[in-house]
A and B are shown apart, each in its own frame.
Chain A
Amino acid sequence: MSTRNMLIIAAAMLVTLAAVVIAVVLTLGDGSSGERAVHVIKPRESEEAEPPSFEVPQQLEMVVFFQSPRRPDLLIPARRAVFNTISLDQQADQLLQKLIQGPSPSEGLLATVPEGTTLQRLYLAEDGTAFVVFNRALVERHQGGVSGELMTVYSIVNTLCVNFPSIRRVQILIEGAEVETLAGHVDISQPLGLNEELFVPTPAAADESEEEESAEQVQ
């Protein structure tokens, strides 16, 4: 009876030992494979170490276009931040508000829209056309002249097209209605696309700006 008990105990101990050995071997094996896994995982962990991936920037860096103080046919980009709202309409609306506000004195640029101009509504159509509705001040207080008119129209069009790739064309409306022109020249009765010629300064354009400066001094 006791011998049999002893045998049972010995057997149990053997089983336990075997289990321990297996466990140790498995653990070691796990350890090594775990180490390999860690190598794979590590980069992921380091990614997660940065700000949580669900967090998006609260503000977006964009540009608005103002007029060059030296050349009547050149738009110059100025940085502006807008709140990263979910809807593109709201982002575009914020950005146009910055355009209407005009440049800060330290920027040394000129506003492109007359004082008193307000943006009444902005909406995006599915075909990539942005409709922007301004009050009458944009027409009535416009100083006229082709150059100024081109600057006004394309500061609005370019500001939207450059910052929002999904906006391919911009139609300017006054109090909700289509108008032929702002000041008698540039056709805005239909949507207009990006005009790069007005803001890409070519080397020749740079020379001209110096010339204009010296002309100013002469006069």
Chain B
Amino acid sequence: MNRALIAFLALISISAVAAVPDDNALRAPQVRTIVIDPGHGGSDQGSIGAGGLMEKDVTLAVALKLRDLISSDPDLRRDNVRVVLTRDDDIKLSLEDRAAKANSEDGDLYISIHINSHQVRSAYGAETYILSLKASDEHARNVAQVENEAMGLGNSENDSAESDDLKLILFDVIQKKYIEESKFVADVIQAEFHGNLQSRDRGVKQAPFRVLKGVAMPAVLVEVDYISNPGKEQLLRTDAYRTRIAESLLHAIKEYKRIKESGRPSIAPAGSGR
């Protein structure tokens, strides 16, 4: 009698807990599929160092190393963590296709690897970017307004342009849902780079990146270092440095997985995002 009542109450409280948070809580928070996106590729060489080193080659080499590290890591193997590359060869991929691939593979984390470049040859250090929604929020309002006006006028000529705009807005909304987690991942990656590569921490930044839009999972764009810095270009050529970059990313992935799966109430403190 008492036991039945307790079981009943327990059932109610479980279903209440399950019903309150968003759909992430319905399934246990698990990080099972990592999507790695080596930036650029094929005819899109990315940035090029003074010595001729191409960004697309470095990003692919680091991604392949990271794939090997993830597949051979005992902890990750035990949990059947899978790694998917958006490209594993020197081919050109559209930014949209990269996001589509990540989504169709049902990824839990998306890391786009890039190498930076700048006229300031002395510049060096790592930056991790997450999507900025400031511009798109305003744009969304603006398009909504145009949309409303167009509906009143019954103007059908702009339909295709508008649906493109709406698609973009949907893309923004998709990533917006994960922005706090993306920020957390970005912070972890920056800390790893700072610690393992002794690279200068240029911080986590936000900008309207095409490559992050439409990605339906926590997503970051990593700018490992500056290929335009001659010293760093030399380092980026070496297998040893590429391995260290991949190791740093592996540590960051494992740290994110650990904290996410420990079920901490909120992965990022309120107000840390935008």
The chain A residues found within 8 Å of chain B, CB to CB, are: 67-73, 110, 127, 129, 143-148, 150-151, 168-169, 180-181, 183-187, 189-193, 197, 212, 215-216, 219
Contacts and interface: CB of A to CB of B under 8 A. Distances in A.
B138 interface: yes
B62 to A, nearest CB: 16
Contacts of A150: 207
Contacts of A69: 120
Interface residues of B, number: 48
B209 A187 contact: yes
B182 interface: no
A4 B71 CA distance: 139
A110 B120 contact: yes
Interface of B: 39-40, 44-48, 55, 95, 114-120, 122-124, 127, 129, 134-136, 138-139, 142, 145-146, 165, 168, 200, 202, 205, 207-211, 213, 221, 223, 226-231
B148 to A, nearest CB: 13
A147 B44 contact: no
Given A145-B228, A184-B40, A192-B208, A216 B134 contact: no
Which interface residue of B118, B136, B142, B146 has the most chain A CB atoms within 10 A? B118
Could you tell me the dominant secondary structure of chain A's interface residues? loop
12 contacts: A144-B55, A145-B116, A146-B127, A169-B139, A184-B46, A184-B95, A184-B211, A185-B210, A187-B210, A190-B135, A191-B142, A197-B205
Contacts of A192: 135, 208
Describe B's contact surface by its main secondary structure: mixed
A45 to B, nearest CB: 49
Contacts of B205: 73, 197
A143 to B, nearest CB: 6
A182 B203 CA distance: 23
A144 B120 contact: no
A187 B129 CA distance: 13
A146 B44 contact: no
Contacts of A180: 95, 210
B38 to A, nearest CB: 12
Given A69-B120, A144-B47, A184-B44, A127 B202 contact: no
